Amino acid sequence: MNRLLRNLFAATLVLTASTAANAEDITVFAAASLTNAMTKAAETYEAETGNHVRLSFASSSTLARQIAAGAPADLYISANQKWMDWLVDQDLIAAESRQDILANSLVLIAPTDSSLGQITINDQTRFLDLISPEDRIAVGDPEHVPAGIYAKQALSHLGQWDAVEDRLARADNVRAALALVERGEAPLGIVYRTDAAIAQDVKIIATFPEGSHPAITYPIAMIKDAKAAGAGDLQAWLLGNEAGVIFAEFGFASPKAEPN
């Protein structure tokens, strides 16, 4: 009996060592708005496969520039098409691997203790009437942050960009803009619905209307010189139903149907 147990134990050690030897690190550069959802998805994938998923979160623009500078990423998930297009133009993306993975929507938020209630955004909305003369509206920097770019497009469509341009608190990424509102440093912010959903101290007071900005879709693709052989398998898993359930928990939708 003891010999049998020893043999079983030895076999288990060999299997464990073999699994560890075959496991690999896969590095994913993902938009900051995906922080919570991708963290959970990565943990689930690691538990199922034994592979380790390294995650790097920042503005899509920052990550794209890091990849162009030689940062060792295997997969890239952008919060807009612009920065994925930019990497394609740099010949750094495996173009055949590119697919849209998620959709989001743009909302106006305020601190939970704000006196502002629900409003409907339309071309009659005057955003500066909602804040004091010394206050600013928090956004991702419209010069490069996807959430800020969408915000500028929406405000321009509504005829409000010229009025609010100088009254913006421009953040390095959408999570930084969210934090300004969470801390009460800005009375309003424009962020993704999914960011507002995970925040403790903010409330959504309006959703920007469909048509005021392009559809918010997140493309995913492999880096052309990806080192991890399993990067394609991870991408396929992220595009599948199991990961889709996780993303839905955090408010993301299929790119074929934007969230309400």
Q: Residue 213 falls within a domain, yes or no?
A: no
Q: pTM of the predicted model, to two decimals? A: 0.83
Q: Are residues 133 and 95 in the same domain?
A: no
Residue 210 pLDDT > 90, yes or no? Answer: no
Average pLDDT over every residue of 245-258: 87
Residue 16 pLDDT > 70, yes or no? Answer: no
Residue 152 pLDDT > 80, yes or no? Answer: yes
Q: Are residues 184 and 225 in the same domain?
A: no
Q: Are residues 82 and 14 in the same domain?
A: yes
Per-residue pLDDT at 11: 39
Q: Are residues 234 and 111 in the same domain?
A: no
pLDDT band at 184 (very low <50, low <70, confident <90, very high): very high
Q: pLDDT over 70 for what percent of the chain? A: 90
Q: Residue 43 falls within a domain, yes or no?
A: yes
Q: Residue 14 falls within a domain, yes or no?
A: yes
Q: What is the DSSP string of 24-43?
A: -EEEEEEEGGGHHHHHHHHH
Q: Are residues 196 and 233 in the same domain?
A: no
Q: Residue 257 falls within a domain, yes or no?
A: no
Q: Residue 228 falls within a domain, yes or no?
A: yes
Q: Are residues 154 and 142 in the same domain?
A: yes
Q: Are residues 117 and 178 in the same domain?
A: yes
Reported in sequence order, the residue ranges of 64-135 that DSSP labels E, i.e. its strands, are: 75-77, 99-104, 106-111
Q: Are residues 176 and 50 in the same domain?
A: no
What range defines the domain where residue 63 resides?
A: 2-103+218-249
Q: Give me the chain's average pLDDT, please.
A: 91
Q: Residue 20 falls within a domain, yes or no?
A: yes
Q: Which of 3-12, 14-23, 123-132 has the highest mean pLDDT?
A: 123-132
Give tens-digit pLDDT for 52-65. Answer: 999 999 999 999 99
Per-residue pLDDT at 154: 98
Q: The CATH number of the domain where 130 resides is what?
A: 3.40.190.10
Per-residue pLDDT at 23: 74
Q: Are residues 8 and 96 in the same domain?
A: yes
Give tens-digit pLDDT for 26-59. Answer: 999 999 999 999 999 999 999 999 999 999 999 9
Average pLDDT over every residue of 187-195: 97
Average pLDDT over every residue of 138-147: 96
Q: Residue 169 falls within a domain, yes or no?
A: yes
Q: Residue 259 falls within a domain, yes or no?
A: no
What separation in angstroms does the CA of 189 have from each of 76, 83, 107, 165, 221?
Answer: 27, 23, 8, 13, 30
Average pLDDT over every residue of 125-154: 97
Considering Cα of 118, then 124, then 127, then 133, what sign does the dihedral take? negative
How many structural domains compose the chain? 2
